[in-house]
Amino acid sequence: MANPRQQKQVGLFSKSLHWLLALLMIGLLALGWVMVQLDYFNPYYDSAPALHYSLGILVFFLVFIKIIWQLAKPLPEHDDRLKKYELYASKIVHFILLLFMIMMPISGYLVITAGTNDASFFGLFDLPTLFKISKPVRDAATFFHTYFPFILVGFIVVHILAALKHKLIDKMQTARDMWPK
Ligand code: HEM
Ligand code: HEM
């Protein structure tokens, strides 16, 4: 008979989305910090921001798909072997990470469309300016996009350390294990 725990593992599509988004988010943080340091004569002065905007917009689309997919096919229940505080901590951290995956593209979009709006999605289409935003909203978006990534990095570090602890120290394969088989 099949092991009941194995029947409720995270599906391949959800796992793939998790890893794709994780790589994109970590890559975009690095790219964001590198691109704002580039001077005008650097050969990547134009291409680095263009890649940042395109990948950021891709995150927005993928998060949308992720949310729809998770509503249609919810992840397995959390593991009953987790301690109560671990359960609540992981729920809070996952929620905050998800919020960042939504807010970073939105704030980036607002920063771009309030300015010169030279962003395109891999040259396929230009970002439309959907709203005329006031200066305080633009300033808030710029503040968020510039300073909140430091908080995001903190949550990502906690998240990775917790995942590694379950895997390597507790040697626990949780019901929501994201590791490739
Ligand atoms: C090396 C990096 C990473 C590792 C090893 C990792 C590992 C994991 C694991 C094992 C889980 C399942 C936890 C459980 O519920 O028991 C998980 C869930 C999750 N992770 Fe990561 N993760 C990484 C990076 C990231 C990044 C960068 C983000 C977002 C910025 C992220 C967002 C999430 C979210 C939102 C969940 C909840 C389930 C879901 O919605 O897919 N992870 N991760
Ligand atoms: C989706 C995840 C995203 C992440 C994690 C991210 C991260 C970052 C980071 C770390 C910086 C450097 C901030 C600084 O030190 O000034 C940055 C800058 C920037 N990003 Fe993003 N970004 C994302 C999406 C986007 C999108 C979708 C756009 C626009 C379409 C965008 C537009 C910008 C712009 C214009 C800057 C330079 C201005 C500023 O500092 O606020 N970003 N981003």
Span 57-113, pLDDT tens digits = 999 999 999 999 999 998 888 777 788 898 899 999 999 999 999 999 999 999 998
Q: Which domains does the chain have, with CATH numbers?
A: 9-169 (1.20.950.20)
Residue-by-residue DSSP string for 112-130: HHHTT---EETTTEEPP--
Q: For residue 104, give the ligand nearest its CA.
A: 2
Q: Is the CB of 33 under 6 A from ligand 2?
A: yes
Report CA(78)–ligand 1 centroid distance (Å): 13
Q: For the residues 45-52, what does the mean pLDDT come to? A: 96
| Residue 120 backbone phi and psi in degrees, to 5 | -130, 165
Give Cβ neighbours of residue 31 (< 8 Å, ≥ 6 apart).
48, 51, 52, 55
What pLDDT, on the 0 to 100 scale, is given for residue 64? 97
Span 120-160, pLDDT tens digits = 999 999 988 888 889 999 999 999 999 999 999 999 999 99
Nearest CA to ligand 2 atom 39: 146
Q: Assess whether pLDDT exceeds 80 at residue 38.
A: yes
What pLDDT, on the 0 to 100 scale, is given for residue 5? 45
